Structure 1
């Protein structure tokens, strides 16, 4: 991708096997926009590896990359890159005191960036999945990321592309929804097209869920586990019932207000 122009990467879409390619063409929406067209099957092909490499390259240059997750489309940057973190706030018009979550590829990576006070089995039961776990942050995490709090939300989406991307990066991703703050979450890349000029790369994984269903735009369930033996639901999200059931019935945690 030359000239710092954003790209639009297409994944999957039921294309026949044997047509794997990562090709560039001018997008219809703008003659200055490069589209990366990926004809491949998830996570196993050269095309996916090239798409991951393109995203890693954009992130390492301080760019913002739009990615599909298991809930809604997100925008990611390297969490240890303070300038990139600030760029996310500028992109979204986000309140500077509203924290960003970090995104990791695997549960074992949580222990480097967080102080964990729950059983590993609990983490494995909830992640990967549509849940954000709020834990006490460790000293390894960028001090400019959410400097106003000792906590950090952790996401491991159940989506192969973003997990492969997180594994390929030198540190955690900072992740937020691909929309202007206070506006609806997005389920297709066209729904946040107004943000494209400020993005280094857009990875198109197709529609996420039912675009006609408001429930599909709820985002992840956010739960604070920073107090031993207790939990606090910060945002109900799309997995509230199953999350609370696991926390209460399997691990005996109680709501912090109890």
Structure 2
């Protein structure tokens, strides 16, 4: 956590944030993944306010954030009382995943307890839950003593915020929005989402930092991809979750991916965009050079070839490039391998939703 975050992390500020949540207000706060826009998960009016402020369709479910039990550094922590008010039943697998990865960037989808508000589940009978690892998020949740729904603190469909300044620029018009500053987010992309609601097979609904391979090696639990379960479970049964729209995480500047060594091919697909192009290149690659395209002004942006570092800087880079007035942003296609699946997923959705007219296909 960066210095500026810890200075502001005073008891008085957290108490004010807790009171704001209790009064039905919104509080933006840092998690290890991205900044969330939080509201009391038991307050229907506060939840509606989140949808209004974000411009998010109300049939989109939200993730409930919970505090870890007070003694969560012990070997065996009892998470059951924490989850009991929210979920209908807790399987052995669920408890294994929780013991291994909470607090952390893993969201689990359960059949919901009947008391869970329809406003936060998008009318579904499932609820998505995680315990964030960021110390400020944990402190806020512990003092609040309840669940907080918190989608990313940005306008619907746009690039998620990874610093307090991002949140401020996203909601400049909401002057009284309380924002807890916890420095830059370490993980940088949203949590992995696993569906446990069907009872038979854990299913990966959104890739993230925690991969099926890591889950298997730490817990012995096999997580399936929806495509692997085609015959076993029809996709129509799969719960809707955050970040599953085709267009999402998108900059206003047109964004495209290029295959290794194919920058010029990517440019030739845009005959009308010939002026200023930002090209992200791997730190391990040699320089592109400008040969062959005299009408284009290239600027190279170096991106890390390590998947975790790439993820932690992805939204920061997209936001910065979006504000620099390029005509086109080109990103290299991430390499094969499940550790890249999370950023590949975000980049594909960002490309699809990008460009000045992105508001028109947000709805698709």
Question: Structure 1-normalised TM-score?
Answer: 0.74
1:195 aligns with 2:171: yes
1:113 aligns with 2:75: no
Deviation for aligned residue 1:135: 0.6
Equivalent residue for 1:186? 161
Aligned positions of 1:22-171 closer than 5 A: 39=7, 48-106=10-68, 107-108=79-80, 109-119=82-92, 120-171=95-146
Deviation for aligned residue 1:239: 1.8
Deviation for aligned residue 1:180: 1.0
**Structure 1 pair 162–242 and aligned structure 2 pair: CA distance change class (3 A):** farther
1:229 aligns with 2:200: yes
Deviation for aligned residue 1:60: 1.2
* 8 Å CA contact retained: 1:78, 1:174: yes
Deviation for aligned residue 1:220: 0.5
**Structure 1 pair 126–61 and aligned structure 2 pair: CA distance change class (3 A):** same
**Structure 1 pair 144–208 and aligned structure 2 pair: CA distance change class (3 A):** closer
Higher share of residues assigned strand: 1
* 8 Å CA contact retained: 1:130, 1:158: yes
Equivalent residue for 2:321? none
> Which of 1 and 2 has greater Rg?
2
For residues 153-193 of structure 1, the C-alpha deviation after alignment (integer angstroms, 9 at most, x for no partner) is 10101111111211222421111111111111111122222
For residues 96-119 of structure 1, the C-alpha deviation after alignment (integer angstroms, 9 at most, x for no partner) is 111001010023411221123422
Question: Structure 2-normalised TM-score?
Answer: 0.54
**Structure 1 pair 59–242 and aligned structure 2 pair: CA distance change class (3 A):** farther
Higher RCO, 1 or 2 (CA under 8 Å, sep at least 6)? 1
Unaligned runs of 5+ in 2: 69-78, 233-364
Cα RMSD for the two superposed structures: 2.4
Unaligned runs of 5+ in 1: 1-11, 16-36, 41-46, 210-215
Provide the C-alpha distance between the structure 2 equivalents of 1:153 and 1:51, rounded to a whole number of angstroms.
28
* 8 Å CA contact retained: 2:34, 2:161: yes
Deviation for aligned residue 1:253: 5.6
Provide the C-alpha distance between the structure 1 equivalents of 2:86 and 2:214, rounded to a whole number of angstroms.
22
**Structure 1 pair 99–207 and aligned structure 2 pair: CA distance change class (3 A):** same
* 8 Å CA contact retained: 1:69, 1:158: yes
Provide the C-alpha distance between the structure 2 equivalents of 1:134 and 1:100, rounded to a whole number of angstroms.
11
